[in-house]
């Protein structure tokens, strides 16, 4: 089945700096790669996603890049703000195993004012 590895597990940056979180996946048939943000005590919510026919997608301060050959994708947050502090999860889906979504273990991002 699919295996998703996410790094780093924790990340601390100064406000205004950039943050990068990386994920690798194992199933070359996976074709949908979402990123979810989970604030403390809240539910995970989608912040950006990318499909396998696209190499990069950007939405204001966040962007996702996908390298299908290497089977990895990354979340980039620029000009970080304290409200970006949360747990971020990557996921991969659409491949084998009934197309289920497999989540990474999460990255706890702390943005220091």
Interface residues toward another protein, by CB under 8 A: 32, 34, 36, 38, 42-46, 49, 87, 89, 93-95, 97-103, 105-106, 108
- Min separation Cβ 6 and another protein, Å: 10
Between residues 19 and 35, which has the closer beta carbon with respect to another protein? 35
Q: At closest approach, how far in Å is the CB of 16 from another protein?
A: 26
CB of 40 to another protein, least distance (A): 10
User: Which run of H or E residues covers position 19?
Assistant: strand 19-25
Residue 25 φ/ψ, nearest 5 degrees: -130, 165
Coil, strand, or helix at residue 44?
coil
How far apart are alpha carbons 17 and 19 in whole angstroms? 7
């Amino acid at each position: 089945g699919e295996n998703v590895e996410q790094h780093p597990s924790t990340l601390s940056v100064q406000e205004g700096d950039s943050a990068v979180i990386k994920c690798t996946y194992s199933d070359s048939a996976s074709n949908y790669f979402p990123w979810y943000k989970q604030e403390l005590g809240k539910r995970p919510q989608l912040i950006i996603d990318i499909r396998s026919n696209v190499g990069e997608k950007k939405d204001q301060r966040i962007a996702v890049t996908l390298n299908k050959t290497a089977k990895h994708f990354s979340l980039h947050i620029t000009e970080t703000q304290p409200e970006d502090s949360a747990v971020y999860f990557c996921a991969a889906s659409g491949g084998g195993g009934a197309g289920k979504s497999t989540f990474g273990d999460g990255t706890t991002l702390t943005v220091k004012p």
